Amino acid sequence: MALLERIHCPGDLRALPESSLPDLALEIRSLLISSVTRTGGHLGPNLGVVELTIALHRVFDSPHDALVWDTGHQAYVHKMLTGRWAALDSLRQEGGLSGYPSRSESAHDLVENSHASTALSYADGLAKAFALGGRPDRAVVAVVGDGSLTGGMAWEALNNIAAAPERPIVVVLNDNGRSYAPTAGAVGRHLAALRDGPPASVFEQLGLAYLGPVDGHDAAAVEVALRKARSLGTPVVVHCLTRKGLGHAPAEQDEADRMHTVGPAGPPSGAQSWTSVFGAEMVALGAERPDVVAISAAMLGPTGLRAFADAYPSRAFDVGIAEQHAVTSAAGLATGGLHPVVCVYSTFLNRALDQVLMDVALHRLPVTFVLDRAGITGSDGPSHHGMWDLSLLGMVPGMRVAAPRDGEQLRLLLREAVAHHGPAALRFPKADVGPALAAVGKLGTADVLRWGPAGGRRPGSAPGGLFRAGTDHVPASGGMRDTTVGVAADGVLILAIGPLGAPALVAAERLSLDGVPVTVADPRWLLPVDPELVAAAAAYRLVVTVEDNGAHGGYGDAVSRALRSAGVRVPVRSLALPQRFLAHGSRSAILTARGLGAESIADAVRRELPLA
């Protein structure tokens, strides 16, 4: 790392002779491969932008010049060249480097950009701000992947950028022919034509200048093109051809996604993921129901639809990074008599709320939304935590939302969603599927996982009243402490959504040692709240909801409203994620730190009982 060790800021990079750049690129790739294969992260995209990033930081003076990355997962090399190479081993680890640009890390990370197709709009606004502020010396550069050009927002921005030739913006088109998979649609075909010959580009037809194609792995050639682009004084597209995964044989030979992401080093868990269980069930459903079709926004593989697409190629649609279009196209498919299953990461459904509301729900159309990566995703950080979907979907009239607790429930709930004659959503996390949790009874449509009252007595089968929980002698300063509490005979009802049923059961067992009877139920269908579950809650002294959604407008809020509407006067304690952006870290650590582990659930009940 003789060259990389000399780089603490982009100025150090600009001081290097051009002849040293190939060796620097080798050092960068070596560190990327050794670090990212250990920590996990976006390996292929960053291996493909090494020379491109070197050239960017030799031509432009960040942070004086504004560099915006779309999407930010290709910014690892940028982090290294802005002084953070020594911390790469902490990538995506709790307290370490973020896997995306992070304003708290560096002044060079201008935009925390990890949702695609947005950089051009940021660039348009920045260029306007610099012009109005009398700072024409500050260049604006947007690094955009060809996959991001499949998103409609990118073209909304280009429509405005091209209309203002007096405001120079450099659009660096990093064209590797793919997002996760080969770039979908006509945009991919057009860029392929530009790679192969000299046709007029769509960018020129819009009124932008166009330079290229340029070999994106020749740092000197890219540097020449960028200097020319800067000198033009008008909006310009610099078309750079790169190869995803370059320099790492396993990535180059991976035809699926060029090792777009890799997991952290370590032995495989051997457990099935939620995504794989869903994917297998979709194939089975497709065989039984020819009306079932699948839609993905550039993520057939990551959302588990690859097997469905292989089995039924005419019934699987990859629309590119275009969630709004995906949802309204699904509305059209449903209007035409089919049952579309729209599969996106939970965080990306945020981008299509208007379409869910006005194009699907207003027309009461049978569209199933499958929300992968719901709740805490872990190492991807605040932009990818799927902690908003319940709050958003709770506003949608007629929407039903389910959360499975185990693999069998995922299969059952998917089938129930597809059988529903209206909009429905199914949410599950980025994680391995845990052991099956058997139901021991029902409260309406909810599955009871544990009956709390002694002897398995159902709530309401005996009159209420206080009982003596006994004396729990706890060591304390000056002797022993009596923590005797009195609660209603029917105790506490914990409603834990999806896989949070497992820590809720552990909490119930710990509370039973205090003599507190706890019933644990899995609602299965979270929204709307089942009236029978509301009625059953009246038999308890306290209701506790446990969810991996934001506290505002989540499942706990929905239960509280349902109880008030039904005139059921029982206290509700909602355990949910705090309504703020949460940093990256392991899923289990974040859930525990935010009060959703077994001991925290038990402690929350203990705190509430004296007040009940």
Q: Residue 446 — pLDDT band, cuts 50, 70, 90?
A: very high
Judging by DSSP bridges, how do beta strands 209-215 and 236-241 pair with one another? parallel
* Ranges for all domains in the chain classified under CATH 3.40.50.920: 441-611
DSSP string, 556-572: HHHHHHHHHHTT----E
Helix (H) or strand (E) holding 480: strand 479-481
366 pLDDT more than 60: yes
Judging by DSSP bridges, how do beta strands 339-345 and 466-468 pair with one another? unpaired
User: CA 405 to CA 497: how far, in whole Å?
Assistant: 7
Contact yes or no for 80/13 (Cβ under 8 A): no
| Mean of all residue pLDDT scores within the chain | 91
314 CB-side CA count, 13 A: 2
First to last CA, the chain: 63
**What pLDDT does 490 receive?**
65
User: CA 348 to CA 531: how far, in whole Å?
Assistant: 31
Nearest Cα to Cα of residue 324 among 351, 284, 285: 351
Structure tokens at 582: 């949460």
Contact yes or no for 425/389 (Cβ under 8 A): yes
The more confident residue out of 548 and 71 is: 548
Nearest Cα to Cα of residue 294 among 339, 355, 361: 339
The binding site for thiamine diphosphate consists of: 73, 114-116, 147-148, 176, 248, 323
Q: Residue 126 — pLDDT band, cuts 50, 70, 90?
A: very high
Q: Residue 224 gets which letter from DSSP?
A: H
Q: Exposure string (b/e) for 82-121, b if CB count within 10 Å is 16 or more?
A: bbbbeebeebbbeebbbbbbbeebbebbbbbbbbbbbbbb
Report CA dihedral (51, 53, 58, 64) to the nearest 10 degrees: 180
| Amino acid at the residue 518 | V
Return the biggest CA–CA distance within the chain: 87
**What pLDDT does 403 receive?**
98
pTM here is 0.90
**What pLDDT does 263 receive?**
85
The binding site for Mg(2+) consists of: 146, 176
What's the distance, CA 419 to chain centroid? Answer: 27
User: Percent helix, strand, coil in the chain (nearest 5)?
Assistant: 40, 20, 40
CATH 3.40.50.970 fits 4-252, yes or no: yes
User: CA 433 to CA 410: how far, in whole Å?
Assistant: 10
- Beta-ladder partners of 527: 401
**What pLDDT does 255 receive?**
72
pLDDT tens figures, 494-516: 999 999 999 999 999 999 999 99
**What pLDDT does 456 receive?**
40
What are the angstrom distances between the C-alpha of 255 and each of 17, 73, 178? 36, 20, 11
380 pLDDT more than 80: yes
User: CA 84 to CA 77: how far, in whole Å?
Assistant: 9
Residue 381 makes CB contacts below 8 A (sequence gap 6+) with 92, 98, 99, 100, 114, 582, 583, 584
**What pLDDT does 479 receive?**
31
102 pLDDT more than 80: yes
**What pLDDT does 487 receive?**
38
369 pLDDT more than 70: yes
What CATH code is assigned to 441-611?
3.40.50.920
Contact yes or no for 184/258 (Cβ under 8 A): no
Cis preceding-peptide flag for 213 (omega within 30 of 0)? yes
612 pLDDT more than 60: no
Catalytic positions are 244, 323, 351
DSSP string, 37-79: HHH-B-HHHHHTTHHHHHHHHHHS-TTTSEEEEESGGG-HHHH
pLDDT tens figures, 271-285: 899 999 999 999 999
pLDDT tens figures, 403-434: 999 999 999 999 999 999 999 999 999 999 99
pLDDT tens figures, 551-599: 999 999 999 999 999 999 999 999 999 999 999 999 999 999 999 999 9
Helix (H) or strand (E) holding 512: helix 501-513
Q: Residue 475 — pLDDT band, cuts 50, 70, 90?
A: very low
Range with the poorest average pLDDT among 141-145, 363-367, 489-493: 489-493
* Ranges for all domains in the chain classified under CATH 3.40.50.970: 4-252, 274-427
Give domain 274-427's CATH superfamily.
Thiamin diphosphate (ThDP)-binding fold, Pyr/PP domains (3.40.50.970)
DSSP string, 327-346: HHHHHHHHHTT-EEEEEEEH
Range with the poorest average pLDDT among 84-93, 108-117, 178-187, 540-549: 178-187
3-state secondary structure 74-131: HCHHHHHHHHHHHHHHHCCCCCCCCCCCCCCCCCCCCCCCCCCCCHHHHHHHHHHHHH
**What pLDDT does 454 receive?**
40
**What pLDDT does 610 receive?**
65
Q: Residue 459 — pLDDT band, cuts 50, 70, 90?
A: very low
Q: Residue 214 — pLDDT band, cuts 50, 70, 90?
A: very high
pLDDT tens figures, 318-361: 999 999 999 999 999 999 999 999 999 999 999 999 999 999 99
User: CA 196 to CA 177: how far, in whole Å?
Assistant: 12
**What pLDDT does 367 receive?**
98
Q: Is 233 helix (H, G, I), strand (E, B) or coil?
A: coil
